């Protein structure tokens, strides 16, 4: 049977690539160390497959068709389409159709009803953390795209429940795979709003604290505070999927720092599985 061997979370943001050289040296060093520590832990977990939970930044979907959740079930997916991601070392990324279709089947049986794609473009949301982690070898990737871009979005509680479903489904897959989950995005940032560039450090730190409390407290706080904490902060949904897979326990903050040059409250975390 397959098993869940790790759960991780990391911020992403275009300026982490486009403005990397302009980030103050101390902040750059801390961000690099945090990404690399997650890369070290992910490598140590020896996953055969990595489920990456990320939004789609208009790379696959637009307003005429934007699913709440889409699982990528293809043999392979395309690397990032953004021209400023041209140096990302993987133009195609191997998938795992067997596990992916099992996740879809188990989701449908339990009323979760994701959309399905046999070929996705994995944009910067998925690929920046993979790149900055400096992994020597990519495991096979099963993409899970969760809408945190445009209302209506899946509820915060449902995202936590998705994590539990993923773990249950992984543990009923017959092949002896080692599977890890990486939630990407967040923490606070504001894009294309009147508050463009704002980082809500108090919100971030309270969110981080509540990851070590019963998950109902975390969800209730986010339901109350997310609407006034920057539209990019909605990506915390992806962290909730990882948290749900870990059973709402074992959260460990690797680092957090607000980085104005990349306009993101940058967070890095792992869960004890």
Residue 176 has pLDDT above 90, yes or no: yes
CATH homologous superfamily of 3-185+234-256+266-271 equals LigB-like (3.40.830.10)
For residue 16, give the nearest of 42, 34, 2, 1 by alpha carbon.
Answer: 34
Q: How confident is the model at residue 228 (pLDDT cuts 50, 70, 90)?
A: very high
For residue 52, give the nearest of 134, 128, 109 by alpha carbon.
Answer: 128
Q: How confident is the model at residue 136 (pLDDT cuts 50, 70, 90)?
A: confident
Structure tokens, 35: 């990404």
Cα distances (angstroms) measured from residue 199 to each of 110, 237, 265, 270 = 37, 18, 6, 22
Q: Tell me, what's the pLDDT at 202?
A: 98
Please report which residue ranges of 213-262 form alpha helices under DSSP H. 215-225, 236-245
When comparing pLDDT for 167 and 1, which is higher?
Answer: 167
For residue 41, give the nearest of 267, 254, 233, 257 by alpha carbon.
Answer: 254
Mean pLDDT confidence for 216-226: 98
Spans of all domains in the chain: 3-185+234-256+266-271
pLDDT, tens digit (0-9, with 9 covering 90-100), for 66-107: 999 999 999 999 999 999 999 999 999 999 999 999 999 999
Cα distances (angstroms) measured from residue 28 to each of 22, 31, 167 = 9, 5, 34
């Amino acid at each position: 049977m397959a098993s869940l061997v790790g759960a991780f979370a990391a911020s992403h943001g275009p300026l982490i690539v486009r403005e990397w050289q302009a980030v103050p040296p101390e902040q750059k060093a801390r961000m690099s160390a945090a990404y690399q520590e997650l890369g070290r832990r992910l490598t140590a977990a020896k996953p055969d497959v990595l489920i990456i939970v990320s939004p789609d930044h208009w790379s696959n979907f637009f307003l005429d068709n934007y699913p709440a959740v889409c699982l990528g079930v293809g043999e392979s997916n395309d690397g990032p389409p953004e021209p400023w991601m041209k140096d990302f070392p993987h133009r195609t990324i191997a998938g795992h159709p067997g596990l992916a279709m099992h996740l879809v089947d188990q989701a449908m049986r339990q009323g979760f009803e994701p959309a399905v794609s046999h070929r996705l473009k994995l944009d910067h949301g998925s690929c920046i953390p993979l790149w900055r982690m400096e992994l020597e070898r990519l495991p096979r990737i099963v993409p899970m795209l969760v809408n945190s871009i445009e209302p209506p979005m899946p509820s915060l509680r449902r995202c936590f429940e998705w994590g539990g479903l993923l773990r249950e489904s992984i543990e009923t897959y017959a092949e002896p795979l080692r599977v890890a989950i990486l939630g990407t995005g967040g923490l606070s940032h504001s894009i294309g709003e009147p508050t463009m560039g704002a980082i809500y450090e108090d919100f971030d730190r309270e969110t981080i604290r509540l990851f070590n409390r019963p998950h109902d407290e975390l969800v209730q706080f986010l339901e109350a505070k997310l609407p006034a904490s920057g539209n990019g902060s909605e990506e915390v949904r992806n962290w909730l999927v990882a948290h749900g897979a870990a059973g709402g326990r074992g959260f460990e903050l690797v680092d957090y720092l607000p980085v104005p040059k990349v306009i993101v409250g940058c967070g890095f975390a792992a869960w004890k599985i």
